[in-house]
């Protein structure tokens, strides 16, 4: 499967990083932004409605075909810029032969 070039846009990916402060406590933060080209659209359908229920209105689907390693808990800046915190987080991923499918949830 090839992604249609007219639907692909550039988004900023920020990796989830666990850091320590000077007192030794751990906290979550975001790494530096990496530009990716992906196709994103609103989540929907009967299957996703059964899985996610009322949260479905705050979710997006994403198709990605590239070399960057994207993991669950990584953040995506969909409506913001790369210098802001991500507004969506990866909660599910499925790998196929030529592309990857992700479900994003609003933070």
Phi and psi at residue 28, to the nearest 5°: -95, 140
**Whether 96 contacts 83, CB under 8 Å:** no
Q: What percent of the chain clears pLDDT 70, i.e. is strictly above it? A: 98
Residue-wise pLDDT for 9-27, tens only, equals 999 999 999 999 999 899 9
**Low pLDDT (below 50) residues in the chain:** none
Q: Where are the domains of the chain?
A: 5-106
Query: Residues near 95 by Cβ (< 8 Å), separated by ≥ 6?
Result: none
CATH class belonging to 5-106: mainly beta
Q: What is the pLDDT of residue 6?
A: 87
């Amino acid at each position: 499967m090839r992604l249609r070039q007219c639907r692909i846009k550039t988004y900023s990916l920020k990796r989830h990083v666990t850091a320590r402060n000077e007192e030794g406590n751990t906290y979550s933060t975001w790494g530096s932004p990496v530009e990716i080209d992906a196709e994103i659209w609103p989540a929907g359908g009967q299957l996703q409605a059964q899985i996610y229920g009322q949260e479905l209105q705050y979710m997006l689907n994403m198709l990605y075909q590239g070399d960057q390693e994207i993991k669950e808990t990584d953040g995506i800046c969909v409506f913001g810029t790369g210098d802001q915190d991500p507004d969506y987080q990866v909660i599910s991923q499925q790998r196929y032969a030529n592309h990857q499918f992700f479900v994003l949830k609003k933070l």
